[in-house]
Structure 1
Amino acid sequence: MSDGFQPASIDADGARRSAMPIPRLDPESALVFVINASAGAHDVDAKRAVIESTLAAHGRRGELLICGPDDLARVATQAAAAALARGTAVVAVGGDGSLGTVAQAAHAAGCPMGVIPYGTFNYFARTHGIPTEPAAAARQLLDARPRPVQVGAINDRVFLVNASLGVYPELLQDREAYKARFGRSRWVAFVAGCATLLRAQRRLRLHIETGSTVRDVQTLTLFVGNNRLQLQQFGAEPADTLAGTPGDGCLAALMLRPIGTLSMLGLMLHGAMGRLGEAAGVESFEFTHMVVKPRLAPGRREVVVAFDGEVARMRAPIEIRVLDKPLYLLQAPDPAGTPEAGP
């Protein structure tokens, strides 16, 4: 592929982003696959078989790196560095959480990234036209080209789909416990979410700065979305107030005000019907840069956050923003054989 340039764009604050070169891909170089051994319901041998059979059928080479969750970040960093040096791409094999970890490494290195999804929801893959059937995704990779897509950051961590504070990180932890006990399915995820919301009591007191706007709020959770598909399925896409849309120019914030049990049941009903934005106590808005200062107990300096399904502690204040530097995602070319414009 010949060198190309991402057209300079205007962000919501009117600042001009610098044009960035699209990384060159060498079709003769082996793709580097990072496989999360614990992601999804498929075992490692099945994942390996899908990749190896696809590569063999098309006369392509690949290097498969298999690791557990504890080693994923280290292996992804090494894989991204190797991919950059060889003029190839690193390919994440797993769910949205695994993809986020590999994206962190690929974004830092500046190398292209491919995706073979094995998650429950696969919002990132679905948003960017990547098949959710692994064999089809693997086949598409072989003709794909790097295309810039928007990523967000929460402090120093890249996220692809969402980031959050408050009850949502608790929901993710509960969901993993339910999955370990009852298996992976969207129904299990929904039941786990209901159980978490019904016992949600802890209020966050937040000082929020977005541009020139400063607010002090109380909320059960602050949820930030970089994926329009997920927001649409919630029925909580915010009013269009900034250039672009969530995932393509800005981020979306949802805040859930403290409410009683009866109101919480109504909230869950709205969410199940994809009409969360109509529920009382839910506020949504668009932004490109936000600073969040939680009011913490004496002696505490960290807050629990979640990003793309992973839960961690971060030192306050929390900065959430659209990154000027894109992630170069391998996507199918348009009919003319070149990457489509835009993220």
Structure 2
Amino acid sequence: MGTTSPPAKDLPREAVLIVNVHSRRGEALFKDARARLEEAGLRLIAAHAVREPERLQETVRDAVADGAPMVIVGGGDGSLSGTVDELVGKDCVFGVLPLGTANSFARTLGIPLDLEGAVAAISSGRRRRIDLGMIDRDYFVNAASLGLSPRIGETVPHKLKRYLGRIGYLLWAVKCSIGFRAFRLMLDDGVRQRRMWATEVRILNGPYHGGVELSDQAAVDTGEIVVQAVVGRSHARLAWDWYAKFFKLRDRDAQTEEFRGKAFRIETVPPQRISIDGEVLAKTPATIRIAPGAVDVAVP
């Protein structure tokens, strides 16, 4: 007789709510989120509106240390990525309120982007065990990138991002591409070394980056990380790649090469900064790897 897996544990009915009110919609939706969660039958042990983004991780750490069975984080992908480290190895469910610009992690998990739908996922959904990506010792939820994206993420004016959303990113990308140059990429999976010219490299734990579906190979439960390189030295190829992927054209993968594995060593000439879920936090050379089954999240 075959063995059956144990039944999935139910979602907790108690939680701590922590919202980055510096994110695009955080301030406006904090009170609404708290009210909707309580109306949905959740008991909020505490609710924090965090105005200084650098205090988010500390606030989550304290909630987990105090024994919260679920921590609900409201903000953009950077807020979620910057706090998920505190839940790794803990018996605490990660609840996601997508209040950012691109909300790529929520898209990957199938979490509705409207507040009502996201609250429903947290209050009446299910637990799902997912992988996390790692850059050296830092965990991330969805995607990292090097090349043009970090330059955009590092310099885009907050008000442009806040009020124009993805269109604001696009406009700023055109400005940042002036003077940008391709780089030499070396990728080593421990068995084989690959060398190529590239204009952008995406390190994917899920299919979305910048709110655009970039890969049909990347997922949060495969036990593998996907590295996608826009190859060659042409700015036009990079622009066409984003355009083709944004509009899901038939030849949308023509400009990229993809590699899958559990870990890679990545080096570039010249060194490149690495944007991790929208925040520039690392640089090459770096080791990238998958952390399989690292956290439980609430999903529909």
Tell me if TM exceeds 0.5. Answer: yes
Q: Does 1:78 align with 2:62?
A: yes
Residue 246 to residue 211, structure 1, CA distance change in 2 (3 Å): farther
Q: Does 1:253 align with 2:221?
A: no
Residues 201 and 228 in structure 2, CA contact (< 8 A), matched pair in contact too: yes
Gaps of 5+ in 2: none
Amino acid at match of 2:193: V
Match among 205, 211, 214 for residue 226 of structure 1: 205
Aligned-pair CA distance for 1:259: 2.8
Count of residue correspondences? 295
Correspondence 1:30-49 to 2 at 5 A: 30-44=14-28, 46-49=29-32
Aligned-pair CA distance for 1:255: 1.3
Correspondence 1:1-343 to 2 at 5 A: 27=13, 30-44=14-28, 46-56=29-39, 58=41, 60-67=43-50, 68-82=52-66, 85-86=67-68, 88-174=69-155, 176-177=156-157, 179-180=159-160, 183-196=163-176, 198-199=177-178, 201-230=180-209, 233-234=212-213, 236-237=215-216, 245-249=218-222, 250-275=224-249, 278=252, 281-295=255-269, 303-314=272-283, 316-332=284-300
Residues 234 and 275 in structure 1, CA contact (< 8 A), matched pair in contact too: no
Which deviates the most, 182-191 or 266-275? 266-275
CA distance in structure 1 between the partners assigned to 2:64 and 2:89 by the alignment = 9
CA distance in structure 2 between the partners assigned to 1:131 and 1:105 by the alignment = 24
Aligned-pair CA distance for 1:267: 4.1
- Note the alpha carbon deviations across 1:242-284, whole angstroms, 9 max, x for none: xxx5333122212123434554554454344334964664322
Aligned-pair CA distance for 1:290: 0.6
Larger Rg: 1
CA distance in structure 2 between the partners assigned to 1:124 and 1:39 by the alignment = 15
Query: What's the counterpart of residue 12 of structure 1?
Result: none
CA distance in structure 1 between the partners assigned to 2:238 and 2:220 by the alignment = 28
Residue 59 to residue 160, structure 1, CA distance change in 2 (3 Å): closer
Amino acid at match of 2:38: L
- Note the alpha carbon deviations across 1:51-99, whole angstroms, 9 max, x for none: 13430463633411221212112222222222xx24x111111111111
Residue 57 to residue 225, structure 1, CA distance change in 2 (3 Å): closer
Residue 23 to residue 211, structure 1, CA distance change in 2 (3 Å): farther
Secondary structure class of the residue paired with 1:66: strand
Residue 211 to residue 192, structure 1, CA distance change in 2 (3 Å): same
Residues 267 and 276 in structure 1, CA contact (< 8 A), matched pair in contact too: no
Residue 135 to residue 171, structure 1, CA distance change in 2 (3 Å): same
Higher strand share: 2
Secondary structure class of the residue paired with 1:326: strand
Query: What's the counterpart of residue 341 of structure 1?
Result: none
Residues 196 and 232 in structure 2, CA contact (< 8 A), matched pair in contact too: no
Percent identity over the alignment? 21
Aligned-pair CA distance for 1:319: 1.0
Secondary structure class of the residue paired with 2:112: coil
Gaps of 5+ in 1: 1-5, 8-18, 239-244, 298-302, 333-343
Aligned-pair CA distance for 1:323: 0.6
> Which TM-score applies when normalising by structure 1?
0.74
